[in-house]
Amino acid sequence: MDRKGQKDLLAEALTDHNKAAVLLGGAAVTLLALGLGFRFLRRPEKLLRVGVVSQLLLHPLKSGRAVHVALAECLKFGLKFGELQDRHWLVVTEDGHMVTGRQEPRLVLVSLSCQEGKVCLNGPNMEELQFPLEQPENRIIDCRVFSTDIQGRDCGDGASRWLTAYLGAEKTIRLVHFEAQMKPRRPSEKEPLFPKFEQVAYPDYGPVMLLSEASVKDLSSKLDQPVTAERFRPNIVVSDCEAFQEDSWEEIQIGSVRLQRVMSCGRCIFTTVDPETGIINRKEPLETLKSYRQCDPSEKHIYKSAPLFGQLLTVKKTGILQVGDVVYKISR
């Protein structure tokens, strides 16, 4: 190769080297920018103490009496204590349509508990009924909860007779149990604010409902007869905060559990059922709530005329909840 050819080859090599350097330099700048951007997006979290858990409540039977616990597992499907899972039992008609305290107010006086693989039903002026928790030979019933489909394992003729007699129902009433292998409901089918992947058993919408003691106290101060948190069927009751402060908690941490607010809880006629007597008055505290707890006009398409009281949450991180746990609001 002559000298001219060597020079051309060297020039070409230098050009390729420069191109590579430019490319590598550009890649390094890009990676640096991405790293800085990631650090910016991942701004440190701030935990602000906003309250303390004062009560934990499960409602194993939808519309049934609450079970107070000192600690509970907080799972994607809601609270669990031993064999009891929140709203995993449902009263239905023979054709599978749900029956709640809206139609049968005395359901709020029915207690459902579990011990040693047995389910126990108790109610005023009724003998306790026990039946096996697991009854794989029983049929699976197709059910409807707020016009969405879900299944339930029939709990047997004994439970059916007990509930039918207790309610004095003209038609046969049955009890069903949601099992892990069954197809759950998707709240987003009824309420688009919920994530499409979110799943529940028999709750109205969300797996967890939170309410503060101060909000209940504020409402009671406007009523002739004070009410308790149990009337509103929350899972988590928080103390040591101001009334309705929970409305602004978009994401909270309690122990290792993380909860995400989805929407406020719109209230209905069920709030007028006294949880201690099973009597429905069809007026209070709903009318008083309507007088001062209406949504912003921009949200009328979501809540319509329902007053807002409490918050519906989804579970971002599961774990254990305990009475006395500090509640932290997460900000970034």
- What is the 3 state secondary structure string of 193-232? CCCCCCCECCCCCCCEEEEEHHHHHHHHCCCCCCCCHHHH
Q: Along the 332 residues of the chain, how does pLDDT read in single tens digits?
A: 544 444 444 345 444 444 444 444 454 545 455 555 545 556 789 999 999 999 999 999 999 999 999 999 999 999 999 999 999 999 999 999 999 999 999 999 999 999 999 999 999 999 999 999 999 999 999 999 998 999 999 999 999 999 999 999 999 999 999 999 999 999 999 999 999 999 999 999 999 999 999 999 999 999 999 999 999 999 999 999 999 999 999 999 999 999 999 999 999 999 999 999 999 999 999 999 999 999 999 999 999 999 999 999 999 999 999 999 999 999 98
Q: List b or e across 26-43, with b for residues whose CB sees 16 or more CB atoms inside 10 angstroms.
A: eeeeeeeeeeeeeeeeee
Helix spans in the chain (H): 3-41, 157-167, 213-220, 286-292, 300-303
Instruction: Tell me what pLDDT residue 44 has.
Output: 87
CATH-assigned architecture of domain 47-331 = Beta Barrel (2.40)
Q: Which residues fall within 8 angstroms of residue 57, CB to CB, at 6 or more apart?
A: 66, 67, 68, 69, 79, 229, 230, 233, 234, 235, 236, 237
Cα of 117 vs its chain's centroid, Å: 26
Mean pLDDT value across the chain:
91
Longest dimension (CA), the chain: 113
pLDDT at site 303: 97
pTM of the model: 0.87
pLDDT of residue 332: 86
Long-range contacts of 20-25 (CB under 8 A, 24+ apart): none
| Residue ranges per structural domain of the chain | 47-331
